[in-house]
Amino acid sequence: MADNAPQSVRIRTGEGNEYRLDAIDRAAGRYDRNRSDAVACACDDAVRLLDAIEDVLGRSDLTHNQREEIATRFDRAASVNIEVGLSTQVGEK
């Protein structure tokens, strides 16, 4: 934790950012917490989820098609862009 943490953090929800309040309210309902706690939970979970996605897609036992399918499913479920590359190695390392 930072020693210089602010007492509060503001999330702007006006002027074209009204969707943020909807997202916060959905998180609050999902976590069954107040808005502030729900934002913190969602941030923690987002980092863990993205780490897990990278771990799964980095597995060497998956085929390219399996990686594509997994990436597509996560890409639809989260606001992230996932690219899966295909590489071929010929000969010895």
Burial of 84 (0-12, 13-18, 19+ CB in 10 A): middle
Full-model pTM = 0.67
pLDDT value at 2 more than 80 = no
Biggest alpha carbon distance in the chain? 58
Cα–Cα distances (Å) from 21 to 6, 27, 36, 55, 87, in that order, read: 21, 10, 11, 31, 42
pLDDT digits (tens, 9 = 90+) for 50-73: 888 888 888 889 888 888 888 888
Residue 84 clears pLDDT 90, i.e. is over it: no
